[in-house]
Amino acid sequence: MSAQITVNIAGSERSVPEQTTAADLFGDDRAVLVARVNGELRDLAHVLADGDNVEPVTAAEQDGLDVLRHSTAHVLAQAVQEVNPQAKLGIGPPIRDGFYYDFDVETPFNPEDLKALEKVMQRIINEGQTFHRREISDADALAELADEPYKCELIGLKGGAADDAAEGAGVEVGGAQLTIYDNLKKDGTRAWGDLCRGPHVPSTRVIGNAFKLMRSAAAYWRGSEKNPSLQRVYGTAWPSKDALKAYLDRLAEAERRDHRKLGAELDLFSFPDELGSGLPVFHPKGGIIKREMEDYVRRRHIEEGFEYVGTPHISKDGLFHTSGHLPYYADTMFPPMEFEGSNYRLKAMNCPMHNLIYKSRGRSYRELPLRLFEFGHVYRYEKSGVIHGLTRLRGFAQDDSHSYVTKEQAAAEIKHLLGFCLGLFRDFGLDDFYLELSTRDDSKKDKFIGSEEQWAEATATLEQVCVESGLELVPDPGGAAYYGPKVSIQARDAIGRTWQMSTIQYDFNQPERFGLEYQAADGTRQQPVMIHSAKFGSIERFLGVLVEHYAGAFPVWLSPVQVVGIPVAEDFNDYLWDVLKQMKEQGIRVELDESDDRFPKKIRNAAKAKVPFVLIAGAEDQAKNAVSFRYRDGSQENGVPIADAIAKVLAAIESKAQV
């Protein structure tokens, strides 16, 4: 008697009784967490309608994984309120690799609290509580959630504003219809509930034991420092215990590569307290890497038509008023030093000074593109909490260039710069990129200077070049500098993390503010456009990225020590030194381990220092006028004739090879 409806299941039509739910179709497969009905994610309990297109969704795809993590966040919130009924709920969305949930609690969570909460969560999960969707009117929701001030605030914002409210707020209050998800125990009683758009997994049981609370930290409510600070608990959840373990292993690998740790172990650089936060010193070994990078990058710039210039570290502040930086970036410049009736500022950017070089005499169209380049040391007053190793400093060197071009030349110059940057990264062993195009935010016009037309033209020029590059392009609305749009190159490292490297910016503002001009072929005076570009962004930062990318085991050309000689016994010191001396004469960086340590200890020391070539000599080698190599992976190459050994090392340096 029951009427039938037709639904389309994962591409094939099927007739099913009315009131059939997605769970009826897929419920037997426990891997199915939710359903996608006509393109929208729905609970498995969702009742299907005639003509619906239904697909099963598992944690194998991102949508399913997000739902799993979102549901785990709910279990966390339930556990928190079970332990502390006074805790007020913020939001709890899935994020990359996990989830978080924000709480307003009297006392912040400590690591023991997290352990205890994990236990409560595991109990809830093992109980197999089920998630039930309940539609509710705004008024009823406000009454039911009277004790949850943050949820009430979200209800007030529901609709278009909610997504702007905070990352993830849309997860709580999505569309027009509010819903509450109740967690029901086996006996049908309500254990807990939360305002939530859903969908959720059918039962807490599917979370299993593949979750972990990672850390707690403060976060501003709705992402604004004007709002109260909530306590955020970060967690992670995966489809299986093995996947969780793989994730934790990845984190451990990232920690192992941490440039701050390796920088100290390999004696590359340090951050002396006496200097102040965010101000590094490079030790001799780090200095070698830094200089190799600089030498190479300087040479490449010159080959690409740039001219190397030099400018001072401080200037009277009028310059930065002319450039427009001071009104916009005074907060991130160090305070002025007053003397001789002027205020001097440490420079936070090099472009104004390059503009002065441009202006130092009349310029002809024949000189354009005019490309000025330097390693410009800039100082920025970064807030104390954001300083981070070599990646966020208060003083650093930019490999900064400014190309002065005619408007017509702009596109070609940007293309030239983009190709140049990508080539440089490849030379340093990074070859996986995408682009990000940062544009003006039209709703915040006071953050930007220049006319609509200028912005439109600049943005179109950049975008055209990006698209032509064929690289993946990610939009970043509102991310532009005040003076113009920019494209940045993001590089993926050896373990898949991305780092922002180069920026290329189209600037029509500063030429105007500085009154830059050139004389055109027809005798008229015209205004050039300037293209800012930093290839590595900052030398220090790029060095930090390389340390992590290579886990401290640099390619030979960048290695501080390229060959370390280890004699099998003291008697072979002279023989080995004779070989090393020949290498040294060819510019190879060599060391001889003449210490009193025994042979195996010397091997160990060289391995810990991650030296690419360990050169060994004993009686067998000497008898054959040869040497032996030991590589970083422990492999060996014995009895190599001396001339071959030298050629081998030279070839590895020349080809920028990793060994």
354 binds RNA (CB under 7 A): no
Alpha-carbon span 531 to 411, nearest angstrom: 10
CB closer to RNA, 384 vs 443 = 384
Residues 302 to 321 in contact with RNA, rule: CB under 7 A: none
Q: What is the DSSP letter of 448?
A: -
398 is catalytic: yes
Site track for RNA across 525-564, x = CB under 7 A: -------x--------------------------------
Cis peptide before 280 (omega within 30 of 0): no
Catalytic residue among 486, 541, 589, 602: 486
Catalytic residue among 158, 257, 402, 535: 402
CB closer to RNA, 367 vs 571 = 571
466 is catalytic: no
621 binds RNA (CB under 7 A): yes
Q: What is the DSSP letter of 201?
A: -
Catalytic residue among 351, 399, 466, 549: 351
Amino acid at residue number 636: Q
Instruction: Determine which residue in the list 37, 76, 617, 649 makes contact with RNA, applying CB under 7 A.
Output: 617
> Across the strands, what pairs with 44?
none
Q: What is the DSSP letter of 368?
A: P
The tokens of 282 are what? 């490079």
Q: Check the annotation: does 402 bind a ligand.
A: yes
Question: From the CB of residue 6, how many other CB atoms can be counted at a distance below 10 Å?
Answer: 12
Instruction: Determine which residue in the list 273, 408, 453, 522 makes contact with RNA, applying CB under 7 A.
Output: 273
Q: CB of 176 within 8 A of CB of 233?
A: no
344 binds RNA (CB under 7 A): no
Alpha-carbon span 190 to 455, nearest angstrom: 56
Instruction: Determine which residue in the list 46, 74, 212, 232 makes contact with RNA, applying CB under 7 A.
Output: 232
Instruction: Determine which residue in the list 120, 152, 184, 217 makes contact with RNA, applying CB under 7 A.
Output: 217
Alpha-carbon span 260 to 129, nearest angstrom: 44
Q: How far is the CB of 182 from RNA (least distance, A)?
A: 29
Alpha-carbon span 335 to 164, nearest angstrom: 34
Residues 134 to 173 in contact with RNA, rule: CB under 7 A: 167
591 binds RNA (CB under 7 A): no
Instruction: Determine which residue in the list 28, 340, 522, 596 makes contact with RNA, applying CB under 7 A.
Output: 596
Residues 104 to 133 in contact with RNA, rule: CB under 7 A: 108, 110
Catalytic residue among 42, 69, 158, 532: 532
Q: How far is the CB of 522 from RNA (least distance, A)?
A: 34
248 binds RNA (CB under 7 A): no
CB closer to RNA, 239 vs 485 = 485
CB closer to RNA, 248 vs 607 = 607
Alpha helices in 367-476 (DSSP H): 410-427, 452-469
Instruction: With contacts defined by CB under 7 A, name the span among 129-137, 149-157, 273-281, 297-305 that binds RNA.
Output: 273-281
400 is catalytic: yes
Place of tokens 């050139």: 518
Cis peptide before 199 (omega within 30 of 0): yes
Place of tokens 């020349």: 654
486 is catalytic: yes
Nearest to residue 536, comparing CAs of 376, 411, 331, 659? 376
Question: Residue 367: which residues within 8 A CB-CB, separation 6 or more?
Answer: 518
> Cα separations (Å) of 463 from 369, 436, 443, 456?
20, 10, 21, 10
- DSSP symbols for 46-90: PBP-TT-EEEEEETTSHHHHHHHHHHHHHHHHHHHHHH-TTPEE-
Residues 403 to 462 in contact with RNA, rule: CB under 7 A: none
Residues 320 to 339 in contact with RNA, rule: CB under 7 A: 325, 329, 332-333
Q: How far is the CB of 160 from RNA (least distance, A)?
A: 20
56 binds RNA (CB under 7 A): no
Alpha-carbon span 405 to 306, nearest angstrom: 13
351 is catalytic: yes
229 binds RNA (CB under 7 A): yes
468 binds RNA (CB under 7 A): no
Helix (H, G, I), strand (E, B) or coil at 390: coil
218 binds RNA (CB under 7 A): yes
Question: Residue 122: which residues within 8 A CB-CB, separation 6 or more?
Answer: 209
496 binds RNA (CB under 7 A): no
Place of tokens 């202006």: 359
Q: How far is the CB of 431 from RNA (least distance, A)?
A: 24
Alpha-carbon span 281 to 194, nearest angstrom: 51
Instruction: Determine which residue in the list 256, 598, 625, 641 makes contact with RNA, applying CB under 7 A.
Output: 598
Alpha-carbon span 504 to 403, nearest angstrom: 10
Catalytic residue among 129, 231, 398, 505: 398
300 is catalytic: no
Residues at the binding site for Zn(2+) are 351, 402, 532
**Catalytic residue set:** 351, 380, 398, 400, 402, 486, 532
Residues at the binding site are 351, 402, 532
